[in-house]
Amino acid sequence: MDSFLNAFLEILKYTLPALIMLIVTYMIVSKFLTEQTTRKQLALFHETQNITIPLRLQAYERLALYMERISPRNLLNRVYQKDMNVAVYEAMLVQTIKAEFDHNLAQQIYVSRGVWETVRGVKEQEINIINTMARRLNPEAPAKELHKILMEYILTDEGAQPTEVALQVITDESRRVLTHGPQA
């Protein structure tokens, strides 16, 4: 029995330090790999951020431009032609708003749901205003009559125009993105 205990202690004398070294080595390597993974994830996050922030800002810029282009003050004069009648003028205004919207559809990927819903809502409001005012007139009347009542509506409406509200929403969110990064 004494020789067995001596042999066991002799084996233990060599294996215990090796086992301790194995555990310490495992812990060091595990910690190193965890830190490396964290560093790579952080580097990837920063790289992604450097790509997404400019894309998001460009989307806000394009949507702000869209709001400016469909703003009645800009749209009415840009589309108006003397030889049009009310029906053609109405169709051209609506078609221009829809075409501009379709051109900017991809921007919804880069902006928040709230901003996109605001933009979509403004498009519908502007089309609804044009259609409502056009229904008051004879479709064969000169386009200048529709132009006139739309301009009067814009100038007498005391509230903020839908495009102005949307521009403020877009501006506020783009500032948050600039300040807080892509998580904003």
DSSP string spanning the chain? -HHHHHHHHHHHHHHHHHHHHHHHHHHHHHHHHHHHHHHHHHHHHHHHHHHHHHHHHHHHHHHHHHHHHHSHHHHHHHH--TT-BHHHHHHHHHHHHHHHHHHTGGGGGTS-HHHHHHHHHHHHHHHHHHHHHHHTS-TTSBHHHHHHHHHHHHHH--SPPHHHHHHHHHHHHHHHHHHH-TT-
pLDDT score recorded for residue 164:
92
pLDDT of residue 124: 97
Percent of the chain at pLDDT > 70 equals 94
Judged against a pLDDT cut of 70, whether residue 183 lies above it is answered with: no
Residue 184 confidence (pLDDT): 54
What is the distance between the alpha carbons of residues 160 and 69, in angstroms, rounded to a whole number? 17
**pLDDT tens-place string over residues 5-24:** 888 888 888 888 889 999 99
pLDDT tens for each residue of 66-75: 999 999 989 9
pLDDT value of position 123:
97
Name the percent of the chain lying above pLDDT 90: 65
**By the 8 A CB rule, do 141 and 20 touch?**
no
pLDDT for the residue numbered 182? 57
pLDDT at 48: 64
2-180 fold: Four Helix Bundle (Hemerythrin (Met), subunit A) (1.20.120)
The partner residues of 142 in beta bridges, in order of sequence, read 85
83-131 confidence digits (pLDDT tens): 999 999 999 999 999 999 999 999 999 999 999 999 999 999 999 999 9
